[in-house]
Amino acid sequence: MSADRRKGLFIVFEGAEGTGKTTQTQLLSESLRRRGLDVDVTREPGGTPLGEQVRRLLLNQQEMQTIDPRVQVLMVSAARAQHVSERIRPKLDQGGVVICDRFTGSTQAYQGAGFRISRRDIERIGEFSTDGLHPDLTVLLDLDVQDGLKRSLSDRDTDWEKAGGINWHGIDFHERVRESFLSQARDNMDQWLVADATAPVTTIASDILDRVSMLIEGRELSQANGLVQRSFPMGGT
């Protein structure tokens, strides 16, 4: 859906594990809330009771190895359809800001490039599950695969085998995932921002805020106090 038909603002963070998505999600939401905006931070898989159940299934290493990749697509898409209708769309319709950790880009990267499900199939089911909803901006935190895996393992304070979920795949899998994210960004430069995840956290946050500021300008967004007003560019974090 185009931005001018919607009052709210939908921002998605994408990238491999260990790229700092969660930190940047937090920093952006804090900046926007300081502006008084009504911000909802959510994630996929997850974001609703159904979505969180799907997340537990997908991220459980034992289960994951037995779930056919096409079923993975259907599971994340079912969770996404519920997420969009129950949480994301209503918040946007109220003029709120939704910041989501992962969305359709992850399905294209992991199940598409990683597990080699056709791009076209994922696009079709993506349109169906989101009911045509596209993010206003997708921020890709890009990082060398080896560095990302090291960061992700140290974050979880565990080793490769215990990392669970999708991490049991080899480096090639993760290289395909990274390349897919980069290629999605290249194909949609107007809606994607690629950030170098090795840059200082504050530099990345300020680049993201600059881009979000441009999107916010002139848009009707609701304040946390329930008022709706036209927003103007923001300064600083």
Q: List residues near ligand TMP by CB under 6 A.
A: 17, 44-45, 58, 76, 102, 106-107, 110-111, 165-166
Cβ proximity to ligand TMP, 90 vs 165, nearer residue: 165
Cβ proximity to ligand TMP, 17 vs 136, nearer residue: 17
Burial class (CB in 10 A: 0-12, 13-18, 19+), 118: exposed
Distance CA 223, CA 229 (A): 7
Residue 198 beta carbon to ligand TMP: minimum distance, rounded to whole angstroms: 18
Distances (CA, A) of 218 to 6, 124, 195: 12, 32, 25
Residue 73 beta carbon to ligand TMP: minimum distance, rounded to whole angstroms: 8
Cβ–Cβ < 8 Å for 184, 127: no
- Closest residue to ligand TMP, judged by C-beta, is 110
Residue 91 beta carbon to ligand TMP: minimum distance, rounded to whole angstroms: 18
DSSP 1: -
Cβ proximity to ligand TMP, 65 vs 237, nearer residue: 65
* Closest alpha carbon to 167 in 157, 153, 182, 180: 153
Cβ proximity to ligand TMP, 163 vs 228, nearer residue: 163
Cβ proximity to ligand TMP, 197 vs 234, nearer residue: 197
Distance CA 31, CA 147 (A): 28
Residue 182 beta carbon to ligand TMP: minimum distance, rounded to whole angstroms: 16
Burial class (CB in 10 A: 0-12, 13-18, 19+), 108: buried
Residue 17 beta carbon to ligand TMP: minimum distance, rounded to whole angstroms: 5
Residue 236 beta carbon to ligand TMP: minimum distance, rounded to whole angstroms: 28
Cβ proximity to ligand TMP, 180 vs 231, nearer residue: 180
Cβ–Cβ < 8 Å for 54, 44: no
* Closest alpha carbon to 122 in 72, 183, 86, 87: 72
Cβ–Cβ < 8 Å for 24, 205: yes
Tokens of 80: 């996404």
